[in-house]
Homo-oligomer: A and B are copies of this chain.
Amino acid sequence: MAILFQNVTAVLMDPARTMLRNAYVAVDGGKIASVGTVKPAGTFDRVIDGKGGILLPGLVNAHTHVPMTAMRGYGDGHDLHDWLNNFIFPVEAKWDDRAIRACADLGLMEMIASGTTCICDMYMHTLTVAQAVDHAGVSGNLGIGAVFFGEHFSEAACTDCKLQDDLFRAWHGHDGGRILVDSSLHAEYTSPEGLAQWIGDYARTHNIGVNVHVSETQKEHEECKARHGGLTPIQYFAKCGMFDVRATAAHCVWTEPEDWTIMAEKGVTAVHNPASNLKLGSGVAPIVDMLKAGVNVALGTDGVSSNNTTDMFEDMKLAALLQNGVRRDPLALTAWDALSFATVNGARALGRSDTGSIEAGKWADLVLLKADALSLTPCHDAVNNIAYAAHGGDVELNMCRGKVIYEHGEFLTIDAERTRREVADYALPLLFGK
């Protein structure tokens, strides 16, 4: 299907930082066929008039836990230990596949409606999450977040090693690489060294990426150093061989200068989750320093239960503002930086050089904002408006790989009504007894 966007302000996020007014973007066979200010020749099955609105690359949510949408606001106002042990964990013990699917669909609806076209998800029941992502039409790097609590680690004794392999075999590379499976470890404090090494080995053997939580809290960071002869989580994982492949490290709040050097050398992406890190009292990640050290920085919302939305525009704004405030430097991070985190940098983090910017030959992962959105009026600079003023509610249309999956409030892949019913009638009673 050939589609032409016309009359848009296109923010390309290409290396030249091009912003084209009155632009045409042609889409064919799922890919971007051309970008320019002259109407391209040829016939189109559909012409979408942006009415002067902004067209930007689809957003990449590089760290999230989609089904946790079910727990929005649940247990808020309790301390971390109480929240996890008395609210989150007991609920998580009740999940079944039907509830996971319903809540994954609900979470994906929120993400799609707010302009996300690609996610990196780590959670439970991932075989079912994969079905949801596949059906929704977005791209996804999926992981299980492996843990092992037994005394003696072995592959045979580790349920999650089998799950990792099951997920890889079932889904990796599906639909032309729209779904990828990463080798995924929960964290240093929930796994022995054997599992960390296994995760690295598995990634190298199958030529896939790694994702892992890193230095989210000071406690985690310091306890890792105490356990491993002064090695930080980044240093420890590097030693375990987890960073000899493409890798994303979520949070990185307490990482140190030596960590940034390793990350820059090894190409490990720091996935910044500013809302979650603030809400849980974890702190403020040293993003500006990491950028200076040459680290690739991407952006994630984390799960809804610690955000409490998956609107990437909110985290983009927060990322842009937060460093300025805590460093007391109004130029610490720019609007361009924040938008890069949420697009090109996220794509790079997930091994997807074929998305994240609007360039001919890349996948047509595109988001059109409403031309008449009040929060975007007036528009002196499209990038400033995207990073500081836009919100998920300003999304008019979401296109993944050339297919419109959301437009003007309607979902074209997910059955919204059925999803709401499944969540209300099945998942919430199962999880919360109501």
Contacts and interface: CB of A to CB of B under 8 A. Distances in A.
Interface of A: 70-74, 76-80, 83, 106, 109-110, 113, 218, 275, 277-284, 304, 307-309, 311, 314, 317-318, 320-322, 324-332, 334-336, 372, 374-381, 384-385, 388-389, 391-394, 420, 423-424, 428, 432
Given A77-B331, A109-B374, A384 B326 contact: no
DSSP majority for the A interface? helix
Contacts of A324: 278-281
Q: By CB atoms of chain B within 10 A, which of A72, A317, A334 has the most?
A: A72
A304 B358 CA distance: 29
Copy number in the complex reads: 2
A309 B428 CA distance: 35
B275 A385 contact: no
12 contacts: A72-B377, A73-B379, A73-B381, A73-B389, A110-B374, A280-B324, A281-B327, A304-B389, A378-B424, A392-B393, A393-B393, A393-B394
Contact of A281 (B332, B424, B428): B332
B325 A283 contact: yes
Contacts of A307: 388-389
A72 B385 contact: yes
Please indicate which of the listed interface residues A325, A335, A336 has the most CB atoms of chain B within 10 Å of its own CB.
A325
Contact of A384 (B77, B332, B420): B77
B321 A278 contact: yes
Given A309-B389, A317-B314, A393-B393, A72 B378 contact: yes
Contacts of A432: 380
Contacts of A110: 374-375
Contacts of A275: 317, 321
Nearest to A313: B391
Contacts of A72: 376-380, 384-385, 389
A279 B377 CA distance: 19
B374 A284 contact: no
A308 B73 contact: no
Please give me the 8 A-B residue pairs with the lowest Cβ-Cβ distance, nearest first. Answer: A393-B393, A278-B325, A73-B384, A281-B330, A278-B321, A308-B388, A308-B389, A110-B374
